[in-house]
């Protein structure tokens, strides 16, 4: 459970509502958790309605930085992120803004399907790596 002030959440909702290209925003990372500290940044995973240029992403991040009067913002375009990060954000994060319910739902469905395939192959890779390391570095394998 995240403990984030309602004022901060409302400020994020209001901010992203002004950007019609943003379908959904998730707060993830240490913010609002027991691991948050004064040096923590604000981790935001953003789902866009379509392709967006890096320059535009940076402009949104700069605008948010000005609003919050902080440059400690980690702005992640979830459309382009690795599936492991997408899954982590969706499973551990807090939905702070949803401008397009259907697109967000489709994104979640897509990530869950992809992660199932990814996790199977990753588990096989990890087990083979552990086995190879044991054979190489431990006596009697």
User: pLDDT digits over 87-131, tens only?
Assistant: 999 999 999 999 999 999 999 999 999 988 877 777 777 788 888
- Do 2 and 18 touch, CB atoms closer than 8 A? no
pLDDT 10s digits, 11-66: 999 999 999 999 999 999 866 656 656 777 888 999 999 999 999 999 999 999 99
Q: If we measure between CA atoms, which residue out of 43, 49, 54, 53 comes closest to residue 19?
A: 49
- Paired tokens of 99: 């401008």
Q: Which sign does the torsion angle of CA 93, 94, 98, 102 carry?
A: positive
- β-pairing, 42-48 vs 73-77, is parallel
Q: Which residues pair with 54 in a beta bridge?
A: none
Scanning the chain, the segments in alpha helix (DSSP H) are 6-17, 54-68, 83-92, 101-137
Instruction: Give the global pTM.
Output: 0.80
Pair of tokens at residue 36:
């948050």
CATH architecture of 6-136: 2-Layer Sandwich (3.30)
Query: What does the domain layout of the chain look like in residue ranges?
Result: 6-136
Percent helix, strand and coil across the chain, each rounded to 5? Answer: 50, 15, 30
């Amino acid at each position: 459970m995240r403990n984030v002030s309602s004022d901060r959440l409302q400020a994020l909702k209001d901010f992203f509502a002004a950007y019609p290209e943003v379908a959904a925003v998730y707060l993830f990372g240490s913010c609002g958790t027991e691991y948050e500290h004064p040096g923590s940044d604000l981790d935001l995973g953003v789902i866009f309605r379509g392709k967006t240029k890096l320059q535009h992403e940076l402009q949104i991040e700069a605008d948010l930085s000005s609003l919050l009067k902080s440059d400690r913002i980690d702005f992640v375009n979830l459309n382009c992120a690795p599936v492991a990060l997408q899954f982590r954000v969706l499973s551990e994060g807090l939905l702070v803004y949803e401008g397009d319910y259907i697109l967000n739902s489709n994104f979640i469905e897509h990530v869950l399907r992809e992660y199932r395939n990814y996790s199977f192959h990753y588990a096989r890779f990890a087990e083979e790596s552990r086995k190879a390391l044991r054979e190489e570095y431990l006596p009697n394998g």
